Amino acid sequence: MRDHYQLIIIGAGPAGLAAAVTATNHGISCALLDEQASPGGQIYRAIESAPATRAQVLGSEYQQGKTLAEEFRACSVEYFPECKVWSLNSEREVGVLYKDQSKIISADQVLVASGAIERPVPFPGWTLPGVMQAGAGQILFKSAGVIPSDGVVLAGSGPLLLLLAWQYMQVGVEIKAMLDVTPHSNFLSALTKFPRALLAHHYLTKGLIYQRDLKRAGIVSKMAVSNLKAEGNGELQSISYRHLGREHSIETGLLMTHFGVIPDIWLTQAAGCQHRRDSSQQCWRPQHNEWGNTSIDGILIAGDGAGINGVRSAEYAGRLAVLQALFSLGVISQAERNQQSINPRKQMRKERHIRPFLEAYFAIPQNMLATTDKSTIICRCEEITAGEIRAAVDNAHGDSNQVKYLSRCGMGPCQGRQCANAVAHIVADAGGEAISDSSLFRGRPPVAPLTLAQLASLSAENAS
Amino acid sequence: MFKQLQNNDLGNLEVTLDGCKILVPQGTSVAAVVLAQGLRSTRTTPISNSPRAPFCMMGVCYDCLMIIDGKANQHSCATYVKQGMHVETQQGVGPALGDAR
């Protein structure tokens, strides 16, 4: 690993891989840092090693990643897998941990392709063993061929839930029920977005086929479910929910939930990039322009880390951001940048036609984002409940960060990744304030836990 | 709760899980292996001693922390199995610095 590169790319998902290929085609020195052992990110996880039968069940969209991974392996990027990035600052200095050695490296341009995380939505019992995110179920399947053995209940909202149900059905997993929390009112708000979504009708068709197949297989599916609860002593034993005004319960040892995905912004926050609340996507994301420039010179963002637009869009965004980086480096002219951007930009626009419809249709109900159930744990690490957070709001003058200092929520090892959004919503709700750009916890380096020994290895590195 | 889709995925690396020797496939995360082995929880919390299990499987939630080769607080979802690895369920914060350095 060198001390300096012209371009550092963080993340080996679709945006990062496409960016690395484009960058090295132009002959610049480029490093790609990624926490996983192999390229692909979460969406193309284990793309190089998944057996053919498994890849087939995962579908054509997954298999598209194979070509990208091959192009990536053939390019001249310096690839550092199993590399933890724990810091990024406005001087484009990147703190990394690689082979148990800390190092600060720098670049003229940094492209953050951090991707997305699942939106954590707290509900009673969500910390019990046996409750997992749907993405976790998919990762187990993609990377290890591990699937539920005694059935599973799927609950929540969004395309991934449907996709996972369909994939599980293909490999014979018993789906005890599909519980969709999408309220009927979303249908109306999504209606106006429908004409544009028709421009991306292949996504709609795929969704309808999945739904049809699940129905034909006789899988129980309930719409507009509320009051989801996971119950059990020390582990999940049953779940309960409300449907059409009545309470129901299902015995199950496994519940997988999904409430959409949100950008992973811990690194751009730590760098001091400006972030905005995106009300349509119900998340915070780094402010950026059409080339992926953030508010900090030389720091670019591409892919779902910039705002959720899906896997194909991420790839094009990665290419566009690199064209901008190449222009800033003086490798290509403005005219060349503009010329080469025409096709990826056109493709990217096409991919995004579906998004406003999906965002409106799968919007998470406000009462789930800001739970009023006082006993629900919000901060999984420090075990702080919604009641404790609400009680702290007055003394904290309605500021999330003050709530954090008073209650310790967000101060555990996950550094608020699981509670920041819920705390922002609960604090706004309790204080009667509107959610805003600054409702989220501030993010600071190190963005990943390091041992003191690992941090101290920096001085040995600098002395050598 | 979980199983391996294909039997031929059972693998040939020998790993010790809470004192028992098991065979696991190469290129798999510790979390995937222990879930497939039927382990319900991977740790208990330092605050209330409540059991927890892998939740996100992508390095975000820190609920899959385990003691791996004597080191506490290791991300089992982001650690890949190796021949001879010792994996243990973690109680609370785990043993005081197993890191021998």
> Can you give the pTM of this predicted structure?
0.96
Which of A119, A127, A251 to probe the B interface (max B CBs under 10 A)?
A127
3-class DSSP state for residue A162? helix
- B35 within domain boundaries: yes
Which tens digit of pLDDT belongs to each residue from A388-438? 999 999 899 989 999 999 999 999 999 999 999 999 999 999 999 899 998
Band (pLDDT 50/70/90 cuts) for residue B96 is confident
Q: Are strands A299-301 and A221-222 parallel, antiparallel or unpaired?
A: unpaired
Q: Of the candidates B28, B45, B61, which has its C-beta nearest A418's C-beta?
A: B61
- B21 within domain boundaries: yes
Distances (CA, A) of A146 to A168, A464, B37, B55: 11, 45, 10, 15
CB contact under 8 A, B1 and A150: yes
CB contact under 8 A, B53 and A171: no
CB contact under 8 A, A140 and B73: no
Q: How far, in Å, CA of A87 to CA of A259, rounded?
A: 28
3-class DSSP state for residue A40? coil
Round to the nearest angstrom and report the end-to-end CA distance of chain A: 14
Residue B73 distance to chain A (closest CA, Å) = 10
Residue A134 distance to chain B (closest CA, Å) = 8
CB contact under 8 A, B56 and A141: no
Closest CA to A314 of A7, A41, A30, A25: A41
Q: Of the candidates B9, B48, B56, which has its C-beta nearest A145's C-beta?
A: B9
- B76 within domain boundaries: yes
Round to the nearest angstrom and report the end-to-end CA distance of chain B: 38
Are A151 and A415 within 8 A, CB to CB?
A: no
Residue B101 confidence (pLDDT): 37
Q: B58 is in which domain, residue-wise?
A: 7-88
Band (pLDDT 50/70/90 cuts) for residue B97 is low
Per-residue pLDDT of chain A (464 residues; tens, 9 = 90+): 999 999 999 999 999 999 999 999 999 999 999 999 999 999 999 999 999 989 999 998 899 999 999 999 999 999 999 999 999 999 999 999 999 999 999 999 999 999 999 999 999 999 999 999 999 999 999 999 999 999 999 999 999 999 999 999 999 999 999 999 999 999 999 999 999 999 999 999 999 999 999 999 999 999 999 999 999 999 999 999 999 999 999 999 999 999 999 999 999 999 999 999 999 999 999 999 999 999 999 999 999 999 999 999 999 999 999 999 999 999 999 999 999 999 999 999 999 999 999 999 999 999 999 999 999 999 999 999 999 999 999 899 989 999 999 999 999 999 999 999 999 999 999 999 899 998 999 988 999 989 899 999 997 766 65
Please name the residues between 150 and 169 in chain A that touch chain B, using a CB distance below 8 Å.
Answer: 150
Q: How far, in Å, CA of A339 to CA of A352, rounded?
A: 21
- B95 within domain boundaries: no
- B71 within domain boundaries: yes
Residue B10 confidence (pLDDT): 64
Please report, for the domain that includes residue B74, its CATH number: 3.10.20.30
Please name the residues between 387 and 446 in chain A that touch chain B, using a CB distance below 8 Å.
Answer: 412-414, 417-418
What count of other Cβ atoms lies within 10 Å of the Cβ of residue A98? 16
Which of B62, B79, B91 to probe the A interface (max A CBs under 10 A)?
B62
Beta strands in A232-357 (DSSP E): 238-243, 246-251, 255-259, 261-263, 275-278, 283-286, 299-301
Prediction ipTM score: 0.95
Residue A464 confidence (pLDDT): 54
- Identify the DSSP state of A363: P
Residue B9 confidence (pLDDT): 56
- For CA atoms A377, A383, A386, A388, the dihedral sign is positive
Domain count, chain B: 1
List CB contacts (< 8 A) between B8 and chain A.
none
Residue A444 confidence (pLDDT): 87
Q: Is A56 on the interface with B (CB under 8 A)?
A: no
Q: Which phi and psi (to 5°) does residue A40 adopt?
A: 135, -20
Max distance between CA atoms of chain A, in angstroms, equals: 69
Are A51 and A145 within 8 A, CB to CB?
A: yes
Which of A53, A146, A414 to probe the B interface (max B CBs under 10 A)?
A146
CB contact under 8 A, B99 and A451: yes
> What angle is formed at CA A56 by the lines to CA A55 and CA A61, rounded to 5 degrees?
75
Q: How far, in Å, CA of B94 to CA of A97, rounded?
A: 23
CB contact under 8 A, A451 and B50: no
Closest CA to A442 of A268, A253, A260, A312: A268
Are A97 and A35 within 8 A, CB to CB?
A: no
Are A117 and B57 within 8 A, CB to CB?
A: no
Query: Mean pLDDT across the stretch B13-22?
Result: 96
Q: How far, in Å, CA of A366 to CA of A182, rounded?
A: 11
Q: Of the candidates A49, A235, A451, which has its C-beta nearest B51's C-beta?
A: A235
Q: How far, in Å, CA of A54 to CA of A143, rounded?
A: 10
Q: Both tokens of residue A9? A: 């790319």
- B1 within domain boundaries: no
Residue B27 confidence (pLDDT): 87
CB contact under 8 A, B1 and A382: no
Which tens digit of pLDDT belongs to each residue from A230-241? 999 999 999 999
Are A363 and A262 within 8 A, CB to CB?
A: no
Residue B58 confidence (pLDDT): 96
- Provide the b/e sequence for A261-293 (b: ≥16 CB within 10 Å): bbbbbbbbbbbbbebebbeebbbbbbbbeebbb
Beta strands in A359-423 (DSSP E): 377-379, 384-385
Q: Which phi and psi (to 5°) does residue A42 adopt?
A: -80, -35
- B96 within domain boundaries: no
List CB contacts (< 8 A) between A147 and chain B.
2-3, 5
CB contact under 8 A, B32 and A135: no
CB contact under 8 A, B4 and A145: yes
Cis before A14? omega within 30: no
Are A335 and A38 within 8 A, CB to CB?
A: no
More confident residue, A378 or B95: A378
Q: Of the candidates A127, A140, A234, which has its C-beta nearest B35's C-beta?
A: A140
Which tens digit of pLDDT belongs to each residue from B35-90? 999 999 999 999 999 999 999 999 999 999 999 999 999 999 999 999 999 999 99
Q: Are strands A221-222 and A175-180 parallel, antiparallel or unpaired?
A: parallel
Q: How far, in Å, CA of A54 to CA of A58, rounded?
A: 6
Residue B71 distance to chain A (closest CA, Å) = 11
Q: Of the candidates A120, A130, A449, which has its C-beta nearest B1's C-beta?
A: A130
Nearest CA in chain B to A252: B1
- Could you tell me the strand order of the sheet in which A246-251 lies? A226-231, A238-243, A246-251
**Domains, chain A:** 4-117+262-332 (3.50.50.60), 120-259 (3.50.50.60), 370-431 (1.10.10.1100)
